Amino acid sequence: MNKPVDMTSVTPAPFNVQAVREDFPILTRKVYDKPLVYLDNAASAQKPSIVIDAMTDLMESGYANVHRGLHYLSNSATTRFEDARKTAARFINASETHEVIFTSGATDAINLVADSFGADIKPGDEIILSVMEHHSNIVPWHFLRERFGAVLKWVKMTDTGDLDMESYRQAFSPRTKIVALTHMSNALGTINPAKELIDIAHAQGAPVLLDGCQAAVHLPIDVQDLDVDFYAFSGHKVYGPTGIGVLYGKSNLLNAMRPYRGGGEMIEQVSLDKVTYGSLPQKFEAGTPPIIEAIGLGAALEYMMGLDRAAVAAHEADLLAYATERLEGLNSVRVFAAAPHQKGSILSFVVEGAHPHDISTIIDRAGIAIRAGHHCAQPLMDRLNMTATARASFALYNTRKEVDLFIEALEKARVLLG
């Protein structure tokens, strides 16, 4: 038998951004005859060949429906699908694979928790949210307010773009039902102190859902170390496909919750007057699951775990620092939350006298893809006294040279609009 490899003695290869870029076929394309500079990663990230190949290979030579077939292809597709779940569990260090529920994305995952965990909510029960949430982590809770009289308690944000910890502590009461907060803001890049937030909530007896949509791609996620109760993220932001996401939940909580959607796959027994439900994770996965997408997600997460993530984080931190410095060096540019306590590689900014949409449209002609708008975070825009910002968000394949092209295009746009 081979001796197991001692991973602690293996030195990962240093991060090589050019080699990484070769993994992403789209990065060689041009738009308007200019090299594509893709800085809209917080909206959705590009896909490495390994993901594209895994999905194509399944469709070309391994495709069948999962779980209920007794034939070869169904069994092998089931194995690959369930392997993807094991990979996702490893990616977030879940202790049990069945604590990973495949959903259609983070939005779906949060709706699942609001609907099922919130099923016994009573008028006056309280839900703690923050003003920096994405609408996906606001609207499902508004449903509970509208339909059952739940009360939403809002954690404030400081001028530095951090969560106001005093406001957080004060939000708790004996009626607190759940805390639902973003791990990393999609509009500002602020990384919230997840462990501290969770400790405070647990001391008050409240469970915590973290919206990990942005954090999962930039930070190592360890749900056991965080002791988080629910964790949600989307496949398409972690270099995987659309149509797939993960809800992690502690099994005691998930077991106690009613199913979210009814249909095939999630039942144990159905008769004319009775239905009993399957166990985790199937209980929450009604209908044919996103098989191809789950396998693509598994490939994306394997891809990420195969990289030296500390080196990736250092590269992204360098891009953020460099881009912030260059952006702040421009006249008439205002950067929001340039230096909160901890920040991921997202830059929100406005150019005085120019609408963010105009900026985005003009620099698009130079091949630069950024986002402009409210970023599905209107309460945050209200807090900033803005209706929209421009947002550049960086991924592991971006380079300093691309930052330079972005700044150059921005300068030209500013002159043109000024």
The residues that touch ligand PLP, with contacts defined as CB under 6 A, are: 105-107, 134, 136-137, 182, 186, 211, 213-214, 234
For the bound state, the minimum distance from the C-beta of residue 300 to ligand PLP, rounded and expressed in Å, comes to 14
- Indicate the Cα dihedral angle 274, 280, 285, 287, nearest 10°: -50
For the bound state, the minimum distance from the C-beta of residue 107 to ligand PLP, rounded and expressed in Å, comes to 3
- Nearer residue to ligand PLP within complex by CB, 354 or 356: 356
For the bound state, the minimum distance from the C-beta of residue 129 to ligand PLP, rounded and expressed in Å, comes to 12
Alpha-carbon gap, residue 379 to 357, rounded angstroms: 19
**Comparing C-alpha atoms, which of 80, 103, 45, 61 is closest to residue 298?**
80
Q: Is 213 a catalytic residue?
A: no
- Nearer residue to ligand PLP within complex by CB, 213 or 297: 213
Q: Which is it for the CA torsion 325, 161, 189, 201, positive or negative?
A: positive
Q: No. of H helices and E strands in the chain?
A: 15, 17
Contact 129, 137 (CB under 8 A): yes
Alpha-carbon gap, residue 324 to 188, rounded angstroms: 12
Contact 187, 216 (CB under 8 A): no
**Comparing C-alpha atoms, which of 194, 151, 143, 192 is closest to residue 173?**
151
Q: Which helix (H) or strand (E) holds 200?
A: helix 194-203
- Nearer residue to ligand PLP within complex by CB, 125 or 293: 293
DSSP code of residue 394:
-
CB atoms within 10 A of CB 312: 19
Question: Helices in 204-242 by DSSP H: which ranges?
Answer: 215-218, 223-226
For the bound state, the minimum distance from the C-beta of residue 108 to ligand PLP, rounded and expressed in Å, comes to 7
- Neighbouring-strand partners of residue 247: 101, 232
Alpha-carbon gap, residue 312 to 305, rounded angstroms: 11
- Neighbouring-strand partners of residue 334: 350
- Nearer residue to ligand PLP within complex by CB, 176 or 234: 234
Contact 388, 357 (CB under 8 A): yes
For the bound state, the minimum distance from the C-beta of residue 209 to ligand PLP, rounded and expressed in Å, comes to 11
- Nearer residue to ligand PLP within complex by CB, 41 or 77: 41
Alpha-carbon gap, residue 69 to 54, rounded angstroms: 21
For the bound state, the minimum distance from the C-beta of residue 251 to ligand PLP, rounded and expressed in Å, comes to 23
Amino acid at 406: F
- Nearer residue to ligand PLP within complex by CB, 136 or 360: 136
For the bound state, the minimum distance from the C-beta of residue 237 to ligand PLP, rounded and expressed in Å, comes to 7
- Nearer residue to ligand PLP within complex by CB, 176 or 186: 186
Identify the active-site residue in 232, 376, 380, 396.
Answer: 376
Alpha-carbon 38 to chain mean position = 18
Residues forming the active site: 376
